[in-house]
Amino acid sequence: MRVKVDRDLCIGAASCIALLPEVFELDEAGKAVIKKALGEPSSDWADYKDLPVEAQMILAAAKSCPTNAIIIEDDEGKQIYP
Ligand code: SF4
Per-10-residue mean pLDDT for the chain, 82 residues long?
98 96 96 92 96 95 98 97 98
The domain segmentation of the chain, as residue ranges, is 2-81
42 ligand 1 Cβ < 6 A: no
CA distance 69 to 72: 10
The predicted model scores a pTM of 0.95
Which DSSP symbol is given to 9?
T
The fold adopted by the segment(s) 2-81 is Alpha-Beta Plaits (3.30.70)
Residue nearest (by alpha carbon) to ligand 1 atom 4: 13
For the chain, how are helix, strand and coil distributed in percent, rounded to 5? 20, 25, 55
| pLDDT value at residue 47 | 95
